[in-house]
Structures are given as C-alpha cells and as structure tokens.
Amino acid sequence: MPYYIGDVIQDENKLIARTPEKFRETGIEVLTHTRVTGVDTAKGLVEIEGRPSLNYDYLVFATGASAFVPDIPGLDLPDVCSLRNLEDAIAIKARLKEINARRVVVVGAGFIGLEMSEALTETGIAVTVIHKDPLPANRWDPALSSMMLEELQSHGVNFVASASASVIEKGAGAPLCVKTSQGDFEGDLVLMAIGVRPNVALAKSIGLKIGETGAISVNFAQRTSVENIYAAGDCCESFHRVSRRWVNIPLGDIANKQGRVAGRNIGGRPLHFDGVVGAQSFRLFGLECAATGLTEKEAAAAGFSPVVNVTWGNTMAPAMGPRKIGLKLVADRSTGRLLGAQAVGAAGTVGRIDALSVALWNGMNLDQVGYLDLAYAPPFSAAWDVIHNAAQALGRSI
Amino acid sequence: MPYYIGDVIQDENKLIARTPEKFRETGIEVLTHTRVTGVDTAKGLVEIEGRPSLNYDYLVFATGASAFVPDIPGLDLPDVCSLRNLEDAIAIKARLKEINARRVVVVGAGFIGLEMSEALTETGIAVTVIHKDPLPANRWDPALSSMMLEELQSHGVNFVASASASVIEKGAGAPLCVKTSQGDFEGDLVLMAIGVRPNVALAKSIGLKIGETGAISVNFAQRTSVENIYAAGDCCESFHRVSRRWVNIPLGDIANKQGRVAGRNIGGRPLHFDGVVGAQSFRLFGLECAATGLTEKEAAAAGFSPVVNVTWGNTMAPAMGPRKIGLKLVADRSTGRLLGAQAVGAAGTVGRIDALSVALWNGMNLDQVGYLDLAYAPPFSAAWDVIHNAAQALGRSI
C-alpha cells in the first residue's frame, strides 16, 4: 500500500485539506503529523517516531522547502511568523482576526512578500515592506521593478528600501517593532518572507547526492542517486533547458510535474521530465508580473554573452486605450538566441511570457521571435506586438 | 521617389489618416483616391487615371481585399453597407448617428459580424445577426461557438441561425427588411459581413501568377512571379507552417509583416518571411476567442490523421473563482504532433493560444506540450494549466 507521510494534504482545487480518510478510500494510507526519523536504505525501512517502521520498495522524497529566516533576535516573539504552507496561511489569517490587526510588517519583497502585501492591503491592513534592495523583486530589471514599486505605493503600501532588519522587539505603539538600518517599524504582526530553502536534512543523512544548488540531485526520471529512491518538488533540482544546468526552482507547477513523472516511473510507465525554462509569475494588485529564462547575470554565468533591452508597449491596440507593458529581453550576442524575458504590465502580460517560454523551450532566436505569428486583434495587442518590437530591436543591436 | 497609391493612409496608432503632406516630409509621395488603370511591366510603367504614368524600378501590390457581398436584390438600397476599411467605419458611424439608428441587421457571424455586433450593442443599438450556420464563427468547434452564442444572447443580440438572406427590401416598420429562410428582419441599416476576397484584378490583368487560393502568389521574399514586382497583405498568399501549403489569411498582423519583408528585400537588406501558423483572435463582449493552426477538416485535407478533444478549465486557480475556458486541440494520430487549437473563455485565453502558436511554429508534439513550463501563479492558471490537461488527455487517447 502506498503511504503518504507529511504535515498536511492540500487539494488545491478545494483549498481544503483532503482528509486521510478520503485518501484511504483510494487505497493510500496517509500519516499526517508523523515524523520520519531515519531511513534504512539497505533494508528498505522508513523509521517513524512512535510507530513501527515501514517497509518500502520505492521511496519518494517530497519534503518540500521551508521558509528561510535570518538569524536575528526576536524571531521567537509571539506573532512573528513565516508563510510556507496552507496551515501557516490558515493560522496567520485566524490570528490577524483574533488580534484585530491594523498594521503588519513584511520583511522581504520577493514573490511571497509582495503577494502577502496585496492580500493584507485588500483586507484593510496597513502594510510596511522592508526590503534589502532599492526595488522589489530582485531578479527583475530596475525599469520593471520600478513599476511594481509604484503599484505598491499607489495602494498605500509603505516600501522601505535598502533596509536590513537587525532585531525584532516589543514595540511602543504596537506589540512588535522591527529595527532596521532605515529606522524602526511597528506592527501587530511581523511576516518574515525572505525566501525558502529545500528540506534536505533527511536526504543528506542517508547519503542521497545533493546538487550544487543544495537541493536533492535527480535524473530525468526523478530518481535520486539511490536506485529505488525518487524525489519531486521543492526539495529537488530540475534541469534548466536554457542554461543547461540543474537548478532548484521551488514552484508549485514544477513540483506537480515532477511528482507525476516520479509516479509514472515507479509505476512502470516511464516518463522523462524535459526540464524547465524558469517561467514564473505573480500578481501585484493591478499588475501582472512574469519572467522566464535567464537574467543577464545568469546568462553570463552560463557562458553566454548577454545583450538586453527593455521595450515599452501596450497590451491592446493603442487606439483602444493605454495598457502599459514593459518587456525586457535577454539574448546571446553570438547566436542571437533568446535567453530570457521579464515583463510587468496590464492583463495579457503573463500570456506574453508564456509565449516566450515556449520560444525558449525550443531555442528560438530573435529573428524568429520578431516575426512569430501571434493571435492579433486590437483588444489584445497592436499589429506588431511588444514581443515583435522588442525582439527586432534587440536583434538590430547585435 | 517612392509612391503610395491608394484610398486611405491609416496610422493605426492614431486611428486617423496620416496625411499625404505628412508622408511627403519623409520623402514619400502619396496619391490618395487615385486609380491605377494598368501596368506596363515591359517598360516599368504604372498607368494612372487622369495623370501621367509613373516609372518604377520596383512595384508593390498592396491592393488588399474587398468585402464579399452575395448577389441578392436590394444591395443598392440606401444604408445597406459593408465594412472593410477605416473610411467605411467612419461613414457607418456617422450614418448611424445621422439616422438615429435603433436597429441594425448584420448578415454574417464571422469576425467582422461578431465584432460589429458587440460595437453596435455597446452604443445601445438592437442587433440582429443572420448567419448561414447553426452557430457563429464556423471554424470553431460547436462546443466553443455555443459559448459565443450564449455571450451574444446574454447581451441581447438576436442570433438567427441557419438563415440565408434572399433579398433586401424596404421595410414596413423600419427603412430596411432582410428576407431570409428563417423570416424577415427589419432594421435602420444592414451590414453585409460575409467575408472578404483578395483584390487581384489588376494583378491578373498583367499576368502575375495567382495561387490556388485566388490570391497573388509570392515567394518567401514576397516577390511575385515577376522579378521586380512584390506583393504584401490581404491580396497575396502566405506559407502555412503547419499544413505546408500556401494560404490567404487576410489579417492585419500578417500584412504588416509581409510589408516589412517586401520593403527589406526591395531595399537590399534581404529578409525571409517564415510564414504563419494561422493565429487569430477576436473579442466578443466578455469573451476572448482565439484559434491557431489547422481545424480538423484542414488537417485531414493536408494529409494528417487528426484526433481532437475539447477540454474545460479555468484561467485562474479554481479556488480564486470560476473563469471558464474551453480549449480544443487538434493533433496528428501518427506522430502526436500538435496541429491546431481553438479557445474561448475569460481573460487569459488569447495568451494560451499565443503559447500554442509558438508550439505549432516549432512543430511540438503533445508529450512536450503536456509538460511545457508556463508562468504559473494562482491568479493566472491552475498548477496544471488547461493546456497541460488538454495535451495529456489527447496524447493518452492516441
């Protein structure tokens, strides 16, 4: 019988935990809130706290990632929290209500910090975001993350730039105070949203190969360095089709694909995971923010000679109204090959990054991208889309 | 000096006619409302009504297409019109105001008929659409065009299915009456929106090769069968990358690309037009409608063995709210290659067809499309997008 051992079973379609009983009906035994203390790979045994060990023919590591929290004093104070899974989200939501929170300090302006800023603002809570860099969302070009900053500020979010939190204390005017290099910021609750790290302690302890990224190394079948042990999701690496390196990109859609690939291979219907191109997105109030492929820096690290441009356009024919979009392209000077793209703008922005993700998947160059046949109609683009304009302009610059 | 001879110069970015004076500043002589009566290809002369002939080194046919109007009595009545260019649009708009139009009958439910139904409805005019088939937008799967019909009807448009107009007469309760096989329909204005045909009379008269589609035959440089004569836009053919046949798809984005390719080649900076995949879209009130590649019928005609499915999904994570999308895929049974896609749904539908257009451009198969890396975030898709679900389901069916 397959076993699932973990904290919570989340059915995304319902946003509720699927119960162990429900799983049992389908022949899967689910052990929630159960701790694995070790694995005996020679005997094929999973050792469990307070329970007899379990035999396995195949073992899957789907240990995910945990929120990374910097080592500063005050993290143990009440209402200093991080958000990683559904249980965290439910607890934070309940707690905000319980204490009738009016002000929240978010530390970090990556995906989670930005998405939470929006969610909190929309419930009427005043949000301060403390970020280490001058602009939010570090991987984005400053021209594009400036748009994000404007969007944050126009919705009343207080963005504190170039600030590092040194300590969290009890506040004078509110229960908590985050002291930073740019001043002190008080709130009813503090959310640490610095990033995540793959959970690999157990994998390491049994000698699974860990990749350079710090995540579990797998092959194209999601098999780890041990024959009958597989890994999937945020705890493991995936192959980046543009850089041709193994990366750790902790995103739900990649995890889903890897899980299915692992299952197919264990179940005897082989499937090869073709890898990723780094497509990702988030919404920030009225803005769609999306990126794919490599940044300039990542491209250079992979041995390309990156050239870049940022092109401004509209997500509909200009005559129908201004719907701003900014698109950055990264390409290789020697081959003209597209290497990456980032975009921020109105509705339709994510769709463009999806199209460019498919272009990256296939190794297209700027000449081809500049004349792609896209589904033009005035409500959705100009006759020359910002994709065409950007690719042609960058191509001319080479 | 380059000459432009035609009816109207449209600058899409301003939706106003760019004046001949403006063009003259850039060194281009523009002759509007000027009729070419013949071309002497041996001497390199364009013969013009009421003017001396013009010499040319290169000649470009950009004669576009004209609205096709069926041969029925009553087309010559006042306020029976068709819409093809900016001048038509301005004239129709002015006339609707002048006669204080309350009811309009649109004959044809293709792109133009449907877009006009929306535009007219939004100005408060009651619209009746008369269509030859049971559902609007013939190339779409009935499951998807049913959604279009619902959208039309929910906005008060009277859709008359399976009706053919036999005559247009003066009406009893309104100036005009369209008699059809499904009854008589009265209106203040009648818009004939059956389709368009390429304008090739002049091209034919000088012996340019006309393709099987009835449009001017060109090569990948947009050159016609005569050495120094080029063609671009709705009057000529383009190469379809999926069917590997020459087609005539009268769309503005293709025309723009071909124009630039022709200009580049004439100007001595060679450029090869890589062709089209048939991407197209239109908006219908709150629906995005888009398609790309081949229909089942077109695929069979091209020698493929088409398999199809229609998949329903959401353009955002279901937990965030229902945003219906229907996606039809067409693939080749023997190779698993994707051949076409059609989609109707909420915001984000066109972006998916764009992504699939890039997949078609590159000849991807269903296995690859089923695991594409797209920019997932809950406001924009489920972790498995409808693209993944559709491609995997169709792949399993082969």
**What would you report as the CA-atom Rg of chain B, rounded to the nearest whole angstrom?**
23
* The pLDDT of residue A8: 46
Whole-angstrom Cα distance, residue A144 to residue A289? Answer: 9
Three-state secondary structure call for residue A249: coil
What residue of A is the nearest CA neighbor of B111?
A377
Kindly state whether residues B112 and B152 are assigned to the same domain.
yes
Kindly state whether residues A88 and A154 are assigned to the same domain.
yes
Residue B81, pLDDT > 70, answer: yes
Q: Do B252 and A379 touch (CB under 8 A)?
A: no
Kindly state whether residues A189 and A208 are assigned to the same domain.
no
Whole-angstrom Cα distance, residue B325 to residue B6? Answer: 42
Quick check: is B260 in a domain? yes
The pLDDT-based confidence of A13 (bands split at 50, 70, 90) is very low
Residue B58 structural domain: 35-64+197-266
Signed CA dihedral, B9, B11, B16, B19: sign only? negative
Kindly state whether residues B110 and B83 are assigned to the same domain.
yes
Whole-angstrom Cα distance, residue B352 to residue B356? Answer: 6
Residue B11, pLDDT > 50, answer: no
Of the candidates B252, B255, B355, the beta carbon closest to that of A354 is on B355
Give tens-digit pLDDT for A322-347.
799 999 999 999 999 999 999 999 99
Last residue of a domain, one of B194, B216, B239: B194
Indicate which CATH number applies to the domain containing A337.
Answer: 3.50.50.60
What mean pLDDT do residues A118-132 have? 97
Q: Do A377 and B254 touch (CB under 8 A)?
A: no
Q: Do A374 and B279 touch (CB under 8 A)?
A: yes
Most B CBs within 10 Å: which of A247, A354, A392, as the mutation test of the B interface?
A: A354
Q: What is the average pLDDT score of chain A?
A: 93
Quick check: is B17 in a domain? no
* The pLDDT of residue B31: 85
Kindly state whether residues B47 and B101 are assigned to the same domain.
no
Give tens-digit pLDDT for A128-148.
999 999 999 988 999 999 999
Give tens-digit pLDDT for B256-303.
999 999 999 999 999 999 999 999 999 999 999 999 999 999 999 999
Kindly state whether residues A188 and A202 are assigned to the same domain.
no
Quick check: is A4 in a domain? no
Whole-angstrom Cα distance, residue A274 to residue A7? Answer: 30
Q: Among B213, B255, B253, B219, which Cα is nearest to B234's? A: B255
Kindly state whether residues A259 and A318 are assigned to the same domain.
no
Q: Do A354 and B375 touch (CB under 8 A)?
A: yes
Quickly list H helices, B182-303. Answer: 201-205, 252-266, 296-301
Q: Do A375 and B14 touch (CB under 8 A)?
A: no
The pLDDT-based confidence of A87 (bands split at 50, 70, 90) is confident
Query: Number of A:B CB contacts under 8 A?
Result: 178
Q: Do B350 and A375 touch (CB under 8 A)?
A: yes
> Residue B288 pairs with which residues in a beta bridge?
B283, B345
- How many angstroms separate the CA of residue B374 from the nearest CA in chain A? 5
Last residue of a domain, one of B138, B164, B194: B194
* The pLDDT of residue B387: 98
Kindly state whether residues B299 and B374 are assigned to the same domain.
yes
Quick check: is A346 in a domain? yes
Quick check: is B9 in a domain? no
Q: Which amino acid is at A265?
A: N
Q: CB atoms < 10 A from the CB of A268, how many?
A: 6
Kindly state whether residues B321 and B369 are assigned to the same domain.
yes
Say which residues have a Cβ less than 8 Å from residue A34's Cβ, sequence separation at least 6.
Answer: A5, A6, A48, A49, A51
* The pLDDT of residue A193: 96
Kindly state whether residues B189 and B120 are assigned to the same domain.
yes
Quick check: is A24 in a domain? no
User: What is the percent of chain B with per-residue pLDDT over 90, rounded to a whole number?
Assistant: 88
Kindly state whether residues A307 and A219 are assigned to the same domain.
no
Of the candidates B15, B348, B358, the beta carbon closest to that of A358 is on B358
What residue of A is the nearest CA neighbor of B357?
A374
Give tens-digit pLDDT for B246-267.
999 999 999 999 999 999 999 9
Q: Backbone dihedral region of A214: left (phi > 0), alpha (psi from -120 to 50 degrees) or beta? A: left
Quick check: is B11 in a domain? no
User: What is the percent of chain A with per-residue pLDDT over 70, rounded to a whole number?
Assistant: 95
The pLDDT-based confidence of A310 (bands split at 50, 70, 90) is very high
Give tens-digit pLDDT for A200-220.
999 999 999 999 999 999 999
Q: Do B362 and A357 touch (CB under 8 A)?
A: no
- How many angstroms separate the CA of residue B127 from the nearest CA in chain A? 21
Q: Among B184, B181, B178, B194, which Cα is nearest to B116's? A: B194
- How many angstroms separate the CA of residue B253 from the nearest CA in chain A? 5
What residue of A is the nearest CA neighbor of B14?
A319
Of the candidates A288, A372, A383, the beta carbon closest to that of B358 is on A372
The pLDDT-based confidence of B179 (bands split at 50, 70, 90) is very high
What mean pLDDT do residues B26-31 have? 80
Kindly state whether residues B168 and B310 are assigned to the same domain.
no
Q: Do A373 and B347 touch (CB under 8 A)?
A: no
* The pLDDT of residue B15: 36
Higher pLDDT, A316 or A304: A304
Residue B18, pLDDT > 60, answer: no
Domain count for chain B, please give it: 3
> Residue B36 pairs with which residues in a beta bridge?
B48
Of the candidates B251, B291, B385, the beta carbon closest to that of A376 is on B251
- How many angstroms separate the CA of residue A278 from the nearest CA in chain B? 7
Residue B40, pLDDT > 50, answer: yes
Last residue of a domain, one of B266, B292, B324: B266
In this structure, what DSSP letter does residue B18 have?
Answer: P
In this structure, what DSSP letter does residue A275 have?
Answer: -
Of the candidates B13, B282, B383, the beta carbon closest to that of A12 is on B383
Whole-angstrom Cα distance, residue A356 to residue A370? Answer: 11
Quick check: is B14 in a domain? no
Helix axes A349-361, B349-361, angle to 10 degrees: 20
What mean pLDDT do residues B352-378 have? 98
Residue A46's φ and ψ, nearest 5 degrees, are: -100, 120
* The pLDDT of residue B168: 98
The answer to whether the beta carbons of residues B136 and B149 sit under 8 Å apart is: yes
pTM score of the predicted model = 0.95
Higher pLDDT, B374 or B19: B374
Of the candidates A12, A276, A379, the beta carbon closest to that of B283 is on A379
